[in-house]
Amino acid sequence: ACFSAGKGREVVLFEKQKKIGRKVLVTGNGRCNIANRNVSADHYHGNNPRFVNNLFSRFGLGDTIEFFESIGLPLTEEKNGRLYPASLQASSVVKILGYEIERRGVEVRLQRKIDRIEPSGSSFMVMTAGKEEHRFDSVILAAGSCACPPAGGSRDGYDLARAFGHTVREPFPAILPLNVPLKILHRLQGVKWDCGIKAVRNGRTAAESQGELLFTAYGISGPAALDISRAVNDPGEDQCRIVIDVFPTRSERELGDLLDALWEDGSKTLSLSLIGVLKGVMPDVIPRIAGIDPGKRVRDLSPAEKTMLARVMKGLELEPGRPRGFNEAVVAAGGVNVDEIDPATMESRLIAGLHITGELLDMDGISGGYNLQFAWSSGAVAGMAQGTFRSS
């Protein structure tokens, strides 16, 4: 809206919610991870990586930083290149963007659900659920995805795009915790541990990450789990297995040497021998997953049991359960086929004057600010390319 209004055009923004920016408020755990210093097409999933490169060549990371600084939102960088507002508050982003669109003369109409948009000659008729009708020269669909319904996520944008003849890949939840039905794993609830983690499909790594893993009452969460969740949940692919490396910074040989040193005192129980290197109840649970009694004396462990325990520590295999729903998803994968959109303008290749942006498109990034960067870039390019703006 800011970029469209900046061209001196009449701009009207329709918002279904009572307030704008509800989804932004919940991003980055309430701090709003605006972008990432390491942004590139490699961090996105979709059928056309050239689309991302083309888009970012028109409005990229530098442009994003410059824009936010120009409206009074300097950014600060944290671990792994994550960029946040210096205030570390998502509310700052919403308030300043709200002020900026007002300053630029954007008319905001709240609690307006769009029922239909129909081409009418060289313009569009926009009809709300309240039976209002409005005519505009051009339209931008920036309705977001169906992820996080409590913050306003819905399928409205997909339905509007389909009505124009666009191909929409059925969305599925991405970047969310994972269900693991192995009950003994649930005993680790509340334990946080730095792990390596992979999603393995048909013997090949579909996704991998290393970082903090949070064990929960239903499975696993935390940044590392979120990073592989898209691959695990993809309904268009064969099911993955989850493989956890409990000691990612040690090779198998180094882990073997560590365990040998821990087991020099054969009178200790297995769980007692591990409390110096594993956290919480892990010394009790990990052996049980390997099929070994944690109360067994170290001197009574067979070579096969020692080998099995080391193998589980370096490659704990888990079967994922049923995917958790959109309520817990940070983003949704799927959406409008990007081959039907011109990345130079975000204009539909099917309907002149119609622009589609952000999470409505079948292009989603990994966790860490990449999805918001795509939203800023696509929104800015669309705004600069057209006249009157509309958001549902």
pLDDT in tens, 250-269: 999 999 999 999 999 999 99
The predicted model scores a pTM of: 0.91
Parallel/antiparallel/unpaired status of strands 354-356 and 139-141? parallel
Q: CA–CA separation, 178 vs 250, rounded Å?
A: 26
Q: CA–CA separation, 13 vs 392, rounded Å?
A: 8
188, 280 in Cβ contact below 8 A? yes
Question: Residue with structure tokens 């929409």?
Answer: 168
Q: Where are the domains of the chain?
A: 2-171+334-385, 177-324
Q: CA–CA separation, 359 vs 332, rounded Å?
A: 7
Q: Identify the CATH number of the domain defined by range 2-171+334-385.
A: 3.50.50.60
Residue 10 has pLDDT above 90, yes or no: no
% pLDDT > 70, the chain: 98
Q: Is 97 helix (H, G, I), strand (E, B) or coil?
A: helix
* Residues 6 or more apart whose Cβ sits within 8 Å of residue 360: 141, 142, 143, 144, 145, 157, 158, 161, 335, 336
* Cα separations in angstroms, 291 against 48, 130, 242, 282, 332: 45, 62, 19, 14, 38
What pLDDT is attached to residue 207?
Answer: 96
pLDDT in tens, 114-135: 999 999 988 999 999 989 999 9
What pLDDT is attached to residue 2?
Answer: 85
pLDDT in tens, 161-209: 999 999 999 999 999 999 999 999 999 999 999 999 999 999 999 999 9
Q: CA–CA separation, 215 vs 308, rounded Å?
A: 22
Rg (CA), the chain: 25
What pLDDT is attached to residue 47?
Answer: 81
123, 136 in Cβ contact below 8 A? yes
115, 106 in Cβ contact below 8 A? no
318, 198 in Cβ contact below 8 A? no
Q: CA–CA separation, 48 vs 52, rounded Å?
A: 8
